[in-house]
């Protein structure tokens, strides 16, 4: 299955699932509490996104100041962005996924999964540099 098909399937299934969940929960707790809970999750999500975003930005700046590669922070950024977008989308399924992305402990698990399965396996081991006898190394300066 290609990425395009998965994305298309996601775009078709999620809204149907969200409408179903909103109708079911609305039938159980009522219309006003359902609307209130959707708005409340958006407000809480935007606050949490702001807090976690600033925290990640500070860690990124500290890593850069120390001269280390901020790999985890660079992966956390898009996860935070997706989580915030999902929390602003009305519905309970997207809110659950969005909160999953914004909670630091679960976000760290996502980052470690990405680093183990998507980033590290694609790197090949360093090959020793072979000395080519036809290459003469040196420095040069241009004087005009």
Share of the chain above pLDDT 70, in %: 90
Residue 24's CB: how many other CB atoms inside 10 A? 12
User: Mean pLDDT over residues 40-50, rounded?
Assistant: 88
pLDDT band at 24 (very low <50, low <70, confident <90, very high): very high
Tokens of 27: 């039938």
Calculate what percentage of the chain has a pLDDT beyond 90.
Answer: 27
Is there a contact between 130 and 118 (Cβ–Cβ < 8 Å)? no
**Residue whose entry in the numeric block shows the structure tokens 């590290």:** 120
User: What residue segments make up the domains of the chain, in order of their start?
Assistant: 12-121
Query: 80: closest CA among 60, 105, 99, 61?
Result: 99
pTM score, whole prediction: 0.70
Statement: residue 17 has pLDDT above 90: yes
Mean pLDDT for the chain? 85
User: From residue 93, how far is each of 27, 46, 60 by CA, in Å?
Assistant: 17, 17, 30
């Amino acid at each position: 299955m290609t990425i395009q098909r998965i994305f298309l399937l996601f775009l078709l299934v999620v809204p149907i699932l969200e409408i179903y969940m909103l109708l079911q929960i609305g039938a159980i707790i009522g219309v006003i509490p359902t609307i209130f809970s959707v708005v409340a999750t958006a407000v809480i999500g935007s606050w949490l996104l702001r807090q976690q975003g600033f925290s990640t930005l500070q860690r990124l700046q500290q890593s850069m100041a120390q001269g280390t590669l901020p790999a985890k922070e660079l992966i956390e950024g898009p996860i935070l962005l997706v989580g915030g977008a999902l929390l602003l989308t009305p519905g309970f399924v997207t809110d659950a996924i969005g909160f999953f992305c914004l909670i630091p402990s679960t976000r760290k698990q996502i980052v470690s999964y990405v680093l183990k399965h998507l980033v590290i396996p694609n790197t090949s081991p360093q090959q020793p540099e072979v000395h080519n006898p036809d290459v003469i190394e040196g420095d040069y300066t241009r004087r005009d």
